[in-house]
Amino acid sequence: MKKDKKTVIRIENVWKTYKMGEVEVHALRGMNFLVEKGEFVAIMGPSGSGKSTAVNMVGALDVPSKGEIFLEHRNIAHLSESELAQIRGKKIGFIFQQFNLIPTLTAKENVMLPMIFQGIPLAERKQRAEKLLNMVDLGERMNHRPTELSGGQQQRVAIARSLANDPDVIIADEPTGNLDSKTSKLVVDFLCQLHKKEKKTIIMVTHDIEVAKCAERIERLKDGVIISKKSKKKVIKNE
């Protein structure tokens, strides 16, 4: 796969095999995947296609059984968990289907939390959290806890949290999976704004084609491999 100075993530021939007793399950089977700086890419596929495993690889949440993963040309495929955690904290922001907010913390405190692990001073954490919550139209709700917020509001808090450390890449794993269609559109609109106005690189996993249409490119995954790539201009099928 060709190198490019603008490449943010490059996955080369990645396999992930899980052992279930004496049975080996290949979640990824030689996956190749490349994302350049500033792209918005959607990954789609049926249940069991390897989407979650692919997200774990791209987001430095797991390491491959074999193959290479490069984040800004650094091979992270064989790093320790502590090293991966440092990279995640600085380089990658996550948005999950279940929101994953801490229920005892306010929206503002949830957004501040990732900054603690990067050693950012308290005053700066507060200022940045307030700015981010205002950006997602939650300035008046920043002192509310998750149980006092709607699903859409919780997901917007999660979006703000994903931006806390100004990461290079945003990974959204089924970000609209628990939302109604109207709220889903609001969340997708925020992601589009991040891409267009903030120039963020976004990788989104979704089962919803309408949600995926906002991406510049759709990669379809089946049985652990990319089977087709559809950009705004053309479709490329992998035989």
Q: Is residue 91 part of a domain?
A: yes
Per the structure, the count of domains in the chain is 1
| Residues ≥6 apart with Cβ < 8 Å to 80 | none
- Count of alpha carbons within 13 Å of 126, Cβ hemisphere only? 4
pTM: 0.87
Residues 238, 216: Cα–Cα separation, whole Å: 19
pLDDT score, position 234: 47
In a domain, 15, yes or no: no
- Is there a domain that residue 113 lies in? yes
What's residue 5's pLDDT?
52
- Give the pLDDT confidence of 182-197 residue by residue, as tens digits: 888 888 988 998 899 8
Query: Which parts of the chain have pLDDT scores under 70?
Result: 1-5, 232-239
Domain around 168: 40-52+81-237
The pLDDT score that the predictor gives to residue 232 is 64
Residue 46 in contact with residue 100, Cβ under 8 Å? no
**pLDDT recorded at residue 239:** 36
Instruction: For residue 104, give the CATH number of its domain.
Output: 3.40.50.300
Handedness of CA 120, 134, 156, 44 (dihedral sign): negative
- pLDDT tens sequence across 79-108: 888 888 888 888 999 999 889 999 999 999
CB atoms within 10 A of CB 185: 16
